[in-house]
Amino acid sequence: MVASASDKPFEVKALEDYISDWKEVGYSSYLLTLKNNLHFNKLFIQSHFAALEKIIEFSGIIELVSKDLMKEDYKDLYTLLVGLGCELSFKGLLRDPSFKNELALTFFQKYIPDLKVSNDLINALNESEHAMKLIKGIHLDKLAIYVHPFMPLSSTTNAKSMLIDLSMNYFYNPVEINWVVKVNKLYSTNPYFSRISSYKKDFIKILQLIEFISQIILKISHSYAERLDLYLQ
């Protein structure tokens, strides 16, 4: 999308050194196409308000197998990768971060008995000092990693029954394989605490975190593919 510097939203301005294109896809929602030197392909950024806080959601998308390249052999890979989904939790007053199984997977297992949960990604992330350092430097609110469409569920998830039906069908008939790394960050709506310079620093740190996690995801995804004698580009 071609736009003057003054027309660009601050979400784009903050990350313009890392993107090749962007477009507005809704109210306070932007889809950024990233440069080829990064290990994830797109970044979806959406903002909304809750009480006196502004919530900014960052969803990094790793296009592992596109629709054009998807074939029957990759279905087994998809079902294995779904079970790697995880989310960040915090312990104690110091909010020590650690990854755990994504709770939605346990929920989905009630409807999809063939879904097998694995700790391979969890262990790789928890054992990474660099990942933990990046997380502690951001003070994020939430972080979830999942294979689309097996997103985290909550009491506010709309049309939960529709999501169950979609996930059940997609599990056995995937048309592509996309990983999603989703980070939520809270900001005060007080102008004193919401300076653009602060946003930019945080946005870059979050992009760097998603980039590092993407490298770990890709490494594990390729190892799973090799077990099945599959090749990933």
Tell me how many degrees the CA angle 71-76-80 measures, rounded to the nearest 5. Answer: 135
Residue at 2 is within a domain: no
How many domains, in total, are found in the chain?
Answer: 1
> pLDDT at position 158, please?
57
Structure letter (DSSP) for residue 150: -
The domain in which residue 190 lies consists of: 10-227
Evaluate whether residue 5 is within a structural domain. Answer: no
The answer to whether residue 127 sits within a structural domain is yes
- Residue 24 forms part of a structural domain: yes
- Indicate whether 209 belongs to any domain: yes
Return the closest-CA partner of residue 154 out of 57, 62, 72.
57
Check residue 194 and give its pLDDT.
54
Is the residue at 221 inside a domain? yes
User: Tokens 């294109």 correspond to what residue?
Assistant: 21
pTM of the model: 0.92
pLDDT at position 162 is 81
The CA angle 68-148-200, to the nearest 5 degrees, is 100
- Consecutive sets of 10 residues in the chain, 233 residues long: mean pLDDT of each? 65 94 95 96 93 90 96 96 97 90 89 95 98 94 95 65 87 97 87 64 96 98 97 87
Does residue 85 belong to any structural domain of this protein?
A: yes
In a domain, 185, yes or no: yes
* pLDDT at residue 118 in the model: 97
